[in-house]
Copies of this chain bind each other. A is one copy, B any other.
Amino acid sequence: MKRTGKARGVRPYHHGDLRRSLIDAALALVAEKQDWTFSLREITRRAGVSHNAPYNHFADGDDLLIAVAAAGFERLRDHLRAAVSGITAPDKALLACGRAYIELALKNPALYRLMCGPALAKSTGSRPAGAREAAEEARAVLEEIIRRGAQSGAFAVSPDDPLEQAKVVFFAWSVVHGLSMALLDGFAETEITLDDMVKEIERGLLKGLTPRKSSR
């Protein structure tokens, strides 16, 4: 059963796929403790390896956490794709996308915070391939919706101005991100449900606050 072996680099090694095992162990710890201040050694204990094993796959502890965040973005991407698949109306898709995003963030707050914090905070250069990539693919879901809405005339966005579309994408992303974070932070003093937030997205993002037929 010897593999001809072209040194792909990303396959089971001596001890199995330890890199993946470590990331999974860390993901489990984040989910359990809702925190990522656990020690690197705790991860190795859970994975059943020596306390020095990670250094063959990660530069240091932060590097491992970045990889964990990357895994989180992959999940987000898949979740968003699944949520909007089959929905053709841009406004419906936008709401479904926002709902799915918030849903996932609230399901594992610590992981979401981890994704937003350390991983993205560091200079963009040092991020492993998967992280930036998955994050951009997640955003691509939203981009596609905005683009379709601009072309169909459902959104008040010029279909021929990519920069304007990019700004709207940025804004829409910020809205759901902000909603998620504000809720995570317990910033909603009043009881606010997921449906309330979707309604607020509809109201605030689609319709705006300025009266349609002003009384002036």
Query: How many copies of this chain sit in the oligomeric assembly?
Result: 2
Residues of B contacting A181 with CB < 8 Å? Answer: 116, 174, 177-178, 181
Closest-CB distance, A194 to chain B (whole angstroms): 13
Q: Most chain-B Cβ atoms within 10 A of its Cβ — which of A91, A175, A178, A205?
A: A178
Say yes or no: is A120 at the interface (Cβ < 8 Å to chain B). Answer: yes
A161-185: which have CB < 8 Å to B? 163, 166-168, 170-179, 181-182, 184-185
Count A-side interface residues using an 8 Å CB cutoff: 56
Instruction: Determine whether the beta carbon of B185 is less than 8 Å from that of A178.
Output: no
Q: Does B178 lie within 8 Å of A210, measured CB to CB?
A: no
Min CB–CB distance A159 → chain B (angstroms): 12
- Check A182 against B189 for contact (C-beta < 8 Å): no
In this assembly, does A153 line the interface, its C-beta being within 8 Å of a C-beta of chain B? yes
Q: Which residues of chain B are near A196, meaning CB under 8 Å?
A: 167
Tell yes or no: A59 within 8 A of B by CB. Answer: no
CB A97 to nearest CB in B, in angstroms, measures: 14
Q: Is A190 an interface residue when CB atoms closer than 8 A count as contact?
A: yes
